[in-house]
């Protein structure tokens, strides 16, 4: 997309008005009317088409920009398909259920808030979905906190912090794959580079929750016991089910491309699944496409385990293609270039480029309330400025996650903020001061940008 040449040079006032109009169109549609982001983005594309035609740009050139923009996301699309299959294969093999069961063993520790953060982090890592983690395990922990008369705000902050740590660092996460793909960085190289900011944020967050936690839980762990019993009832909790995870880790250290790593781990998971259950080829194909469906009869367990498959990625794939298509038009019409040129004099230092990209990601989250668009638009806008100051692409992908992925749950009208509040019953502004991981990540990424520490140059 960054090679797309503008066909016109719009006035700054026109570019600014169009940008604000698109922001308002998308944000009002999502926040006020509860629309999925796809529709307002499509309407924005039509608006850009109209502007281009009025300015004398041919329909063919506009269509070319649209297609070139969408083409920039094809590598991400293929990765998303393999992620969907990996998740469903890890479910049917018992890999994810076993990881979750192991995570619950930590509940016997003393410090409740710290336990919540650790367990949700492990589960978030294993399933790669922050909202699924919040909607299942998070609800259980909120119930325990209520029974033990502990702070629901702090508990919710620990849940959100752990869930979005997992969402940020898991190779199964769509936002993690999107961030790496949008700037052309290998998935596992992206994850390794994020460790420079994520590990300090994790350690500090754990320290804060340990300080806030009571000396002893003093309550019941009945809710967690029910989860463990439900997981055992699936018949998939076995030591050998971690083999696909080992395959993933080994291939990662061997620096095998992400797509091949995900494919081989999925194949190994399918092989493991035949050890503890008899499946036909037809059933395997259905699971790989439609996802795994749990039938334990326990609503929370079935909700946690019923996921994955190529079909589950279609929502994300459609959003990625639409957003990138809109980005292609923004570049074709010279709107992005016009806005960046206005502040180009401010983007000559490494520190200012990183700060500006972080603030852009945060601003899009606040204005639009959409996690994916925060990543997509920041990546599109700042690829060239990063190149000019000699920064490697993985610096940008890290900032996109540090200030994009984890900030969304802190915005009351965002997709994640609305979902989390509705599920656990704790208002966003109440848990926001205690979502330490989400608050620390953008601060650390900007701080490292000003100090020059952990940055990689070309």
Per-residue pLDDT tens over the stretch 418-446: 788 878 888 888 999 999 999 999 999 99
345 band by pLDDT with thresholds 50, 70 and 90 = low
Q: What is the reported pLDDT for 217?
A: 46
Whether residue 216 is predicted with pLDDT greater than 70 in this model: the reply is: no
Residue 218 has pLDDT above 50, yes or no: no
Query: Which helix (H) or strand (E) segment is 371 a member of?
Result: helix 371-388
In angstroms, rounded to a whole number, what is the distance separating the alpha carbons of residues 228 and 76?
35
Q: Whole-angstrom Cα distance, residue 119 to residue 125?
A: 10
pLDDT at 314 over 90: no
pLDDT of residue 201: 96
- Mean pLDDT over 375-394 rounds to 84
pLDDT at 435: 96
Which range of residues forms the domain containing residue 122?
75-313
Percent of the chain exceeding pLDDT 70 equals 93
Dist CA 373 CA 324 (whole Å) = 9
Question: Given this model, what pLDDT does residue 393 score?
Answer: 85
For residue 349, count other CB atoms closer than 10 A to its CB: 12
The answer to the question of residue 51 being in a domain is: no
Torsion 400-208-155-195 (CA) sign = positive
**How far is 392 from 455, CA to CA, in rounded Å?**
8
The tokens for 94 are 């018992």
Residue 157 within any structural domain of the chain: yes
Q: Do the domain assignments include residue 358?
A: no
Do the Cβ atoms of 437 and 168 come closer than 8 Å?
A: no
- The DSSP H or E segment spanning 429 is helix 428-431
In a domain, 228, yes or no: yes
- Quick one: which of 447, 378, 394, 370 has its CA closest to 204? 447
Q: Is residue 22 part of a domain?
A: no
CA distance 39 to 419: 19
> Is it the case that residue 219 has pLDDT exceeding 50?
no
**pLDDT attached to residue 109:** 55
Note whether residue 352 is domain-resident.
Answer: no
pLDDT at residue 222, as a whole number? 61
* DSSP 8-state secondary structure symbol assigned to residue 241: G
Greatest mean pLDDT among 65-74, 237-246, 380-389, 409-418 lies in 237-246
Q: Domain count for the chain, please give it.
A: 1
Q: Is residue 237 in a domain? A: yes
User: pLDDT tens across 223-251, in order?
Assistant: 667 777 788 888 888 889 989 888 887 88
Please report whether residue 329 resides in a domain: no
Model confidence band, residue 82 (pLDDT cutoffs 50, 70, 90):
confident
pLDDT tens digits for range 15-69: 889 988 988 888 788 778 878 788 888 999 999 999 999 999 899 999 998 888 8
């Amino acid at each position: 997309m960054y090679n797309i040449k503008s066909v016109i040079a719009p006035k700054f006032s026109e570019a600014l008005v169009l940008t604000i109009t698109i922001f308002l169109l998308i944000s009002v549609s999502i926040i006020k009317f509860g629309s999925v982001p796809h529709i307002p983005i499509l309407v924005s594309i039509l608006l850009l088409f109209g502007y281009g035609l009025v300015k004398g740009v041919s329909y063919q050139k506009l269509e070319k920009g649209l297609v070139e923009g969408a083409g920039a996301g094809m590598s991400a699309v293929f990765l998303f398909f393999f992620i969907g299959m990996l998740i469903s294969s890890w479910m049917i093999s018992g890999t994810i259920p076993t990881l979750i069961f192991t995570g619950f063993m930590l509940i016997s520790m003393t410090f409740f808030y710290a336990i919540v953060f650790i367990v949700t982090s492990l589960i978030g890592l294993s399933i790669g979905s922050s909202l699924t983690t919040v909607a299942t395990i998070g609800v259980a922990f909120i119930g325990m906190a209520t029974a033990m008369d502990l702070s629901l705000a702090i508990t919710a902050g620990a849940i959100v912090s752990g869930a979005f740590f997992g969402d940020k660092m898991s190779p199964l996460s769509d936002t993690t794959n999107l961030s790496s793909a949008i700037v052309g960085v290998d998935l596992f190289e992206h994850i390794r580079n994020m460790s420079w900011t994520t590990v300090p944020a994790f350690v500090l967050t754990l320290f804060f929750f340990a300080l806030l936690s009571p000396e002893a839980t003093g309550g019941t762990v009945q809710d967690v016991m029910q989860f463990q019993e439900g997981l055992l009832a699936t018949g998939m909790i076995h030591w050998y089910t971690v083999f696909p995870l080992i395959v993933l880790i080994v291939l990662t250290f061997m620096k095998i491309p992400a797509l091949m790593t995900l494919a081989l781990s999925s194949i190994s998971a399918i092989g493991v699944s035949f050890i503890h259950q008899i499946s036909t080829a037809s059933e395997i194909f259905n699971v790989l496409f439609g996802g795994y469906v749990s039938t334990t009869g326990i609503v929370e367990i079935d909700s946690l385990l019923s996921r994955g498959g190529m079909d589950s990625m279609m929502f994300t794939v459609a959003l990625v293609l639409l957003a990138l298509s809109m980005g292609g038009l923004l570049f074709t019409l010279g709107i992005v270039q016009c806005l960046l040129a206005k502040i180009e004099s401010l983007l000559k230092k490494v520190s200012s480029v990183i700060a500006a990209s972080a603030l852009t990601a945060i601003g899009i989250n606040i204005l639009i309330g959409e996690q994916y668009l925060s990543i997509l638009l920041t990546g599109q806008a700042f690829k060239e400025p990063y190149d000019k100051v000699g920064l490697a692409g993985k610096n940008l992908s890290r900032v996109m996650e540090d200030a994009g992925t984890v900030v969304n749950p802190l915005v009351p009208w965002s997709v994640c903020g609305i979902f989390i509040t509705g599920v656990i019953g704790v208002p966003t502004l109440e848990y926001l001061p205690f979502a330490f991981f989400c608050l620390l990540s953008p601060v650390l990424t900007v701080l490292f940008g000003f100090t020059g520490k952990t940055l990689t140059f070309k």
